[in-house]
Chains A and B, each alone.
Chain A
Amino acid sequence: MPPEVDIRKDGPRADDSAAAVAGLDALDTPTVVATPWWRRAIVTGLPPIVALLLFVAVWQLVWASAITSEFKVPQPLSVWDAFAEIVVDGSVWSILWTSISRAFIGFAIALLIATPLGLLVAKVKVVRAAIGPLLSGLQSLPSVAWVPAAILWFGLTDATIYFVVLAGSIPSIANGLVAGIDQIPPILPRVGQVLGASGLRSARHILLPASLPGYIAGCKQGWAFSWRSLMAAEIIAAGPLLGFGLGAYLKNGSDLSDMPSVIAAIFLILIVGIGIELLVFRPIERRVLRARGLALGV
């Protein structure tokens, strides 16, 4: 027997149901436990610092024990000196700027090409069948492999560098977007349809925002690929037409058998790669995931 329902707006039953709704809401609302920022900072910041200090300590020990020659394993302090030298004469900024600006311009062009490409592969069956496997295959092709061909095509110019960077990062970004779109719950496009979004408006209001987590993961990987491709290109392709970037600095150190410079360059490459990820991609990813209630612990 169904209970009787009084739906008059301001009868006693209405007050009653308002109270019932309020009570249920209060009971059912998920609670979010927030950890204070300083605790998060200690938990995430302290372990890598300790690990780094340990690494330097072990390095110092290896050097002090003189297992190998100074020429192969310099002491940490001389690497620091090599680094300080380019900081003091100011060349570090132009080296960093040459490389980072190239990586960023390359990455931006890759975004512009990979985004429509990913959309096409994800949404058009024929395109997916035709170039989908190739696109994921290209991800496993080391982009250094493109350097010799690019030098023959473009000579020792910036075009060579950019070509290698694009070849490295476009497949990652496009594949990320494809994966992001593939993982959209099928109910969401239907929701868009019943709410009146079709075609391009569906892409703008449903498809792209829904695939954003996968897309950002792809961009993150795309950045890593673009950075490492750039370094490969800069190390191999050196010439007067090319500016003096981090890769060239590393190559230069190697040519002069200047181990401290080589190690300083490797550290700089690492620091820039990690730094961009931590300063640019991690905050964006965190914002996107948190807004969706995913990865609350991150």
Chain B
Amino acid sequence: MTATIERTVQTAAVDLRGVGKTFGTGAGAVTALHGIDLQVRPGEFVCLLGASGCGKSTLLNVVAGLEEATTGTVELRTTRPSFMFQEAALLPWLTAGRNVELPLQLAGLGRQARRDRADQLLELVRLDGLGPKRPHELSGGMRQRVSLARALAAATSSGDGDGLLLMDEPFAALDAITRDVLQGELLRVWEATGTTIIFVTHDVREAVRLAQRVVLLSSRPGTIVGEWDDVQDGGPQLYDDITARLRQVITSHAA
């Protein structure tokens, strides 16, 4: 048992040790995260699950380096993490293709190389030939796929090390049909690219469908209260288990 733990620790793509995050100081301080230990293997798909206010977005921001952890250590053995937001957040003055190219351009890739890579990635998200379109000419689902392609471009832009993709409820603002299709697409893309993914959601169904491992966070402060491994073989029982546990966590805040 000890041996396996050490092995996973050594090869972890993301290694969080005792991470805590407090906003503000003194009496008005709010502790959003407390004592988070989380290791993610390279190529693993982990879902962070929790009710609102559990600090799952904060945790993702800490991993992304958008926010500094107050305590603990964050170690990444990946390329610079890339981030996907709830909204597609495409730059409206660039075409879909140029949006995907931007992280490559910022990483210093030549024009032809980044154009080719952008075309590849757009093809991967089934948007072949739509590179010249402007964001406003695309549907919500298409925009979110451009955003996925851009995040993948950012994740793999520097070349050395595995990519890390952080996703903050990326499908929450889409309609149910589009969300269902895009979840399937994300799995296909993950399979095809082998990128490490940390995916934040409040939807148990989504977590169980997508993840290999589900990590449940309690609220205020966010701490890890449950973990389910090998989720994809779990079956319907697992969905019920996780839902029951989540409900328990939420109920404990009723007082």
Give B contacts to A, CB under 8 Å: 64, 66, 80-83, 85, 87, 89, 91-94, 102-103, 105-107, 126, 134-142, 150, 154, 157, 177-178, 180-181, 183-185, 187-188, 191-192, 205, 208-209, 236, 239
Within A15-36, the residues touching B (CB, 8 Å) are 17-18, 20-22, 24-25, 27-30, 32
Q: Does A210 contact B (CB under 8 A)?
A: yes
B66-A293 in contact (CB<8A):
no
From known contacts A194-B64, A194-B66, A195-B103, infer whether A9 and B134 are also in contact, taking CB-CB under 8 Å.
no
**A-B pairs with lowest CB-CB distance, top 9:** A293-B136, A28-B139, A194-B83, A2-B209, A292-B92, A196-B106, A195-B103, A1-B236, A187-B89
From known contacts A24-B139, A25-B141, infer whether A292 and B93 are also in contact, taking CB-CB under 8 Å.
yes
Contacts of B102 in A (CB 8 A): 195, 197, 205
B141-A7 in contact (CB<8A):
no
Contacts of B178 in A (CB 8 A): 24, 28
Give A contacts to B, CB under 8 Å: 1-3, 5, 7, 9, 14, 17-18, 20-22, 24-25, 27-30, 32, 187-188, 190-191, 193-197, 201, 205-206, 209-210, 212, 288, 291-293
From known contacts A5-B209, A195-B106, infer whether A292 and B82 are also in contact, taking CB-CB under 8 Å.
no
19 A-B pairs besides A2-B208, A28-B139 with CB distance below 8 A are A2-B239, A7-B187, A7-B191, A17-B181, A17-B184, A17-B185, A20-B184, A21-B126, A22-B126, A24-B139, A24-B177, A28-B140, A28-B178, A29-B138, A187-B87, A191-B91, A195-B102, A196-B154, A209-B94
CA distance A293 to B92 in the complex (A): 8
30 A–B contact pairs at CB < 8 A?
A: A1-B236, A1-B239, A2-B205, A2-B208, A3-B180, A5-B187, A5-B209, A7-B188, A7-B191, A9-B188, A9-B191, A17-B181, A20-B181, A24-B178, A29-B142, A30-B138, A187-B87, A193-B66, A194-B81, A195-B102, A195-B103, A196-B103, A196-B106, A197-B106, A205-B102, A206-B91, A292-B92, A292-B93, A293-B92, A293-B134
Contact of A32 among B92, B94, B137, B150 (CB under 8 A): B137
Closest approach, in angstroms, between the C-beta of A211 and any C-beta of chain B? 10
CA distance A7 to B185 in the complex (A): 8
B185-A21 in contact (CB<8A):
yes
Closest approach, in angstroms, between the C-beta of A129 and any C-beta of chain B? 23
CA distance A136 to B156 in the complex (A): 46
Contacts of A14 in B (CB 8 A): 188
Contacts of B157 in A (CB 8 A): 196
